[in-house]
Structure 1
Amino acid sequence: MSRFFQYLRTQTFRKNLIIALISGIVFLLLLFYSLRFYTRHGESIEVPSLRGISIDEAVNRLESRGFRYQVDSVYQADKNPGLVIEQDPDAGTNVKSNRTLYLTIITKNAPEVQLPDLTEMALLEAMSTLSNYGLKLGDTIYIPDIARDRVLDVKYGGQKINAGQPIPKGSKIDLVLGNGMGESEVYIPDLVGYTLDEAIFSLKGASLTLGTVRYMGPVTDSTSAKVVSQTPEADPDGEKKVSIGTSVNLALSN
């Protein structure tokens, strides 16, 4: 132990200690200035404003300032293709040269999505589903049906379209909906040649009522008598309709 303390008082120890301190200081100075050079301490460039300009102009601005860039794209039907709508970092931010900036532009071609199954949905539910798929509601077409505001059919471009078919994102979809009232008018069935029971059954199925029943000539068996005429008459072309509940008068004969 005494030799150790004697060594600490020698000139050799003091010389080695001085050399070690100087070496440590030199190392720290070299490390400090190396880091300053590597990170370019104090050197920064202001990010230019790129929103609202074309991607070509944005690229020219970035390259002239030594920036790198990456471009992503989205589709928006109400925006002009090729315009920058987002940038990261924001304009005015001070960053290092050669920093990568991230740009979002409007693409010209809309991506396709598969039409969701909207049949039997309520109108509000169908509208929400369309929005979630990036689609828009076009016209609402109401037809007679007891299901009020329920989707009965789906159309795109005036044509019927089925669930699962691909269509451009942002497209307008027309919905055919029930008006909650059902058919107010129906066709008159042709009852000639029917027995009375058969005619009554057919009238009920058509939402019509039986009017007067008249037998022509002697009738020996009313159950076998058949309709020979009716008022109103049936329309063979299927163009004439009457209101629901209309009475149909029958004339029967054996």
Structure 2
Amino acid sequence: MNLFKVNSLKDVLIHLSIVIILGITLLVLFFYVYLPNSTNHGETVTVPDLEGIHQDDIDEFLTKRNLRYEVLADSGFTAEYEPFTILNQYPAPGSKVKENRKIFLTLNAINPPKVKMPDLVDGSVKNAQLVLESYGLTRGNIKYVPDLAQNAVLEQKYEGDNIEPGTFIPKGSKIDLVVGDGLGNTVLEVPDVKGMDLEEAEFIIVGSGLKVGSVLFQDQSLSGQDAREIVENAAPGERYVVARQNPTFEKKVRIGEEIDIWLNLLEDQEDSILDNEEEEENTDISETE
């Protein structure tokens, strides 16, 4: 009993030291021996990526990895996978979890939910794409037809038939679009702008419902230079006029098509026109043959 007898301050310190050492020893044993053995501390499993795996195959797949699973009541839908295929999971792929951890799964539904068909008509193709995605629908084929409204949606079709906005259709359905090409059905004759200066030629072309295409020079030495800038900065007495055009005069084109023109100095114009007429005649003969 002398061990617990306290006769001096030294005995008190000795007893206090013994209590502290015993306490530290017990804490170390609890945290580093007992808890690891009872909780499998340090034994982790990497969660695999389960997306796209069918429910029938998941049990064996997770059992081999010492994991369990539970299918949530909520489900999603995508046309990319078959029904009962895993869409989402928690914890996420790559997470470190303890063995026997439960993985929560969301499956692809058998029947897709119904969504309302949006109104895409009169909007752009780009806007239609964004709207379809927000509704869970897919853009199908695009058919261009003659119309002045370029890249504007004229009709929306589902399974070959026009579909009215607000109609319920399965989520993931493909919607085909009929889109204007910006040209229209009207057929026009190409005006004759040869001999006109640039400003007058542009006025005639645009006024005829056509567009000015490339503005070039007949003189190859000026090739690649800005035609409009040279015309605007022409010296006094210099006048550039149209020497050639394509398509040529009286050709049939649709409204909105472009007319390319070639410019030349007025003093060289007469010879240039004769050469171009001969070239056009040869071209017409070749096309006829």
What CA RMSD, in Å, does the superposition of the two structures yield over aligned residues?
Answer: 3.7
Aligned to 1:218: none
> 1:167 & 1:63 partners in 2: Cα distance?
39
The one-letter amino acid of 1:40's match is: N
User: Counterparts of 1:33-72 in structure 2 under 5 Å?
Assistant: 33-45=33-45, 50=50, 53-63=53-63, 66-71=66-71
CA shift, 1:56, in A, is: 1.9
User: Aligned in 2, Cα 1:7/1:128: closer, same or farther, shift over 3 Å?
Assistant: same
Structure 1 residues without counterparts, runs of 5 or longer: 1-5, 186-254
User: Counterparts of 1:112-123 in structure 2 under 5 Å?
Assistant: 112-123=114-125
> 1:173 & 1:22 partners in 2: Cα distance?
76
Aligned to 1:8: 9
Quick check: 2:84–2:107 contact (8 Å CA) kept in 1? yes
User: Counterparts of 1:69-84 in structure 2 under 5 Å?
Assistant: 69-71=69-71, 73-84=75-86
Does residue 1:99 correspond to 2:101, yes or no? Answer: yes
CA shift, 1:167, in A, is: 2.0
CA shift, 1:58, in A, is: 0.7
> 2:128 & 2:86 partners in 1: Cα distance?
32
Quick check: 2:52–2:81 contact (8 Å CA) kept in 1? no
State the percentage of identical aligned residues: 37
User: Counterparts of 1:19-30 in structure 2 under 5 Å?
Assistant: 19-30=19-30
**How many residues end up aligned between the 2 structures?**
178
User: Aligned in 2, Cα 1:177/1:47: closer, same or farther, shift over 3 Å?
Assistant: closer
Aligned to 1:151: 153
Matched residue SS, 1:108: coil
Aligned to 1:110: 112
> 1:161 & 1:126 partners in 2: Cα distance?
14
Matched residue SS, 1:62: helix
User: Aligned in 2, Cα 1:22/1:182: closer, same or farther, shift over 3 Å?
Assistant: closer
> 1:18 & 1:128 partners in 2: Cα distance?
74
Q: Which deviations, in whole Å up to 9, do the C-alpha atoms of 1:8-61 show, x marking residues without a partner? A: 13x355335424432442243234323213431343456567565421221244
Aligned to 1:167: 169
Normalised to the residue count of structure 2, the TM-score between the two structures is: 0.48
Matched residue SS, 2:25: helix
The one-letter amino acid of 1:69's match is: Y
- Structure whose residues are more often helix by fraction: 2
